[in-house]
């Protein structure tokens, strides 16, 4: 009953003309947590990207790295030390439990990284301590993070790391308050540090109703406003983010004028959006990759012939045509075509049911077997309709004797269970958050030096040759040589068949004609600062 009342009151608020200064946004899922370090979910980042700041950022609507909480940075001649000069006068937000007594400074940077780097840090294991992006991209690379003075911090790497600045611009490497952490620890509620967010960004959390709504208020003292930077200044009285997993519902709300910005509409609704006199169809040229992973913790997928059979049994061209509504591109490469380093010679595995049956027979399972096929429950650029894709794969596999039960969960639970290796065949994917082809391959297919899969490697595939090539590509700066190495890595992945690629498509959004100043992000999450509504 409480949830029904919450949704009813939310929709009344959305329709009320009294909220003319409110920006309404329709999201496809709920945030997992309110600390960006503990997530790599794009849905969560859409919310947290309004609250927190990084030292540096990807420019709005582009791919260049620009200053944020750091005004400038220098790199040592050996390429291993990055020294950041911090912006002065940056204010922290407050809430009912905490009022800051000082501005952002180097102590906050040190705290942010020590929490992730040091297993003995008092906050390291709070709320699970799963620092997904950090562990995947920086844990093995960082030698130290040192405070030079109150407004200077030096990051020293064990070896040169070509995508370092891009990684530092990733939303999950945002800065957090050391003073707030101390206050919550003294109060005996350290878990609240990740649940009641305190950032330096343009908006701050006012309320969250699980699976229903996030409400943000402008942070008047944010540094962007103080510096007179329009695109970093809040320009609305509030943001209401309504959570609607059903893409059709999000489109209906947009067309009815209830949502000024609606994420991930069905591709089939593009024409209806174009024809509307209330909203525009906005296309963001995002880079993304989608795939299904075979779980290497299960014996039935350890035989490469089984994986090859399942790959050859999928009729990928019509699947991509149907699921992406004619707007997608089928590929066998994990790095998308928009990037340098894309292996354009890798095509989808040839559709060959006869070969698939022969491979199963060679593997000793001529009569097939049963498995689970997990379907992504939300619409993403890399998979706009997970259920439909799963049904088409289910039918293709049934033709070779493999019975697949389709399984799905609410998005946050789906991610959590997948990362716990519960998915037998898991549908997954990602959107690039910074302009370097290493992100998706590293996030979803590498393992560390001890053989532990990266947090988003839900199939637990560990291949020494792949890991070595990826590490080598990240340690050099020559882009042509790096591109060759990424092509080599994609061939290793393709030949061992730990996953089957779908491809990807552009991101669609329905944006109200009354919205001014909104620029969809090409990398990372779109910010609502600088956005106004008539």
DSSP letters for 461-477: ---HHHHHHHHHHHH--
**pLDDT reported for residue 7:** 38
∠261-263-264 over CA atoms, to 5°?
145
Low-confidence ranges of the chain (pLDDT < 70): 1-20
From-to residues of CATH 3.90.76.10 in the chain: 52-184
Closest CA to 432 of 127, 63, 11: 63
**pLDDT reported for residue 1:** 33
Residue pair 128/142 in contact (Cβ under 8 Å)? The answer is: no
From-to residues of CATH 3.40.190.10 in the chain: 1-50+201-285+507-534
Q: Is 288 helix (H, G, I), strand (E, B) or coil?
A: strand
| CA separation for the pair 241, 87 (Å, rounded) | 30
| Whole-prediction pTM | 0.80
Residue pair 23/515 in contact (Cβ under 8 Å)? The answer is: yes
Burial call 250-281: b when 16+ CB within 10 Å, e when fewer: bbbbbbebbbbbbbbbbbebbebbeebeebeb
Strand partners, 293: 426, 499
Listed in sequence order, the DSSP H helices in 56-212 are: 106-117, 132-137, 164-168, 178-186
Is the domain defined by 288-503 classed in CATH 3.10.105.10? yes
CATH of domain 1-50+201-285+507-534: 3.40.190.10
Closest CA to 508 of 270, 247, 322, 244: 270
Residue pair 23/241 in contact (Cβ under 8 Å)? The answer is: no
Q: Is 75 helix (H, G, I), strand (E, B) or coil?
A: strand
How many beta carbons lie within 10 A of that of residue 220, not counting itself?
12
Residue pair 45/416 in contact (Cβ under 8 Å)? The answer is: no
| CA separation for the pair 240, 259 (Å, rounded) | 9
The structural architecture, per CATH, of the domain 52-184 is Alpha-Beta Complex (3.90)
**pLDDT reported for residue 6:** 40
| CA separation for the pair 277, 274 (Å, rounded) | 8
Check residue 104 and report its DSSP letter. Answer: -
Residue pair 180/102 in contact (Cβ under 8 Å)? The answer is: no
């Amino acid at each position: 009953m409480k949830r029904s009342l919450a949704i009813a009151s939310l929709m009344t608020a959305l329709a009320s003309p009294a909220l003319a200064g409110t920006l309404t946004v329709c999201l496809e899922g709920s945030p997992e947590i309110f600390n960006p370090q503990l997530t790599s979910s794009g849905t969560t980042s859409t919310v947290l990207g309004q609250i927190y700041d990084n030292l540096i950022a990807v420019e709005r609507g582009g791919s260049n790295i620009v200053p944020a909480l750091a005004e400038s940075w220098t790199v040592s001649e050996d390429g291993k030390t990055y020294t950041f000069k911090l912006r002065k006068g940056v204010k922290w937000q407050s809430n009912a439990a905490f009022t800051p007594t000082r501005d952002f400074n180097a102590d906050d940077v040190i705290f942010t990284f020590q929490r992730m780097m040091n297993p003995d840090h008092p906050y390291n294991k709070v709320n699970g301590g799963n620092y997904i992006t950090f562990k995947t991209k920086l844990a093995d690379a960082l030698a130290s993070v040192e405070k030079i003075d109150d407004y200077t911090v030096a990051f020293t790497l064990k070896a040169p790391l070509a995508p370092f600045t891009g990684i530092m611009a990733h939303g999950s490497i945002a800065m957090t308050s050391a003073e707030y952490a101390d206050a919550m620890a003294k109060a005996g509620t350290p878990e609240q540090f990740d649940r009641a967010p305190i950032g330096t960004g343009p908006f701050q959390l006012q309320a969250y109703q699980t699976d229903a709504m996030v409400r943000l208020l402008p942070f008047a003292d944010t540094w962007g406003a103080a510096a007179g930077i329009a695109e970093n200044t809040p320009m609305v009285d509030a943001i209401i983010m309504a959570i609607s997993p059903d893409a059709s519902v999000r489109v209906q709300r947009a067309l009815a004028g209830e949502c000024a910005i609606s994420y991930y509409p069905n591709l089939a609704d593009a024409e209806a959006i174009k024809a509307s006199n209330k909203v525009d169809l906005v296309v963001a040229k995002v880079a993304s990759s989608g795939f299904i992973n075979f779980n290497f913790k299960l014996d039935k997928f350890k035989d490469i012939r089984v994986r090859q059979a399942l790959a050859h049994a999928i009729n990928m061209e019509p699947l991509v045509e149907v699921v992406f509504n004619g707007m997608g591109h089928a590929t066998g490469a994990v790095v998308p075509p928009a990037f340098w380093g894309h292996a354009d010679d890798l095509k989808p595995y040839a559709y060959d049911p006869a070969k698939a049956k022969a491979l199963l027979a060679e593997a000793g399972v001529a009569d097939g077997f049963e498995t689970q096929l997990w379907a992504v429950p939300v619409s993403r650029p890399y998979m706009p309709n997970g259920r439909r894709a799963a049904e088409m794969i289910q039918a293709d596999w049934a033709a070779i004797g493999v019975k697949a039960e389709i399984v799905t969960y609410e998005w946050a639970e789906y991610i959590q269970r997948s990362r716990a290796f519960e998915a037998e065949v898991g549908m997954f994917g990602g959107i690039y958050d910074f302009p370097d082809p290493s992100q998706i391959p590293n996030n979803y297919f590498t393992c560390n030096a001890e053989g532990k899969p990266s947090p988003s490697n839900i199939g637990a595939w560990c291949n020494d040759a792949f890991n070595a090539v990826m590490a080598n590509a990240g340690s050099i700066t020559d882009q042509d040589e790096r591109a060759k190495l990424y092509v080599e890595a994609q061939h290793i992945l393709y030949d061992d068949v730990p996953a089957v690629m779908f491809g990807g498509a552009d991101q669609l959004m329905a944006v109200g004609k009354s919205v001014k100043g909104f620029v969809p992000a090409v990398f990372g999450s779109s910010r609502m600062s600088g956005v106004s509504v008539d």
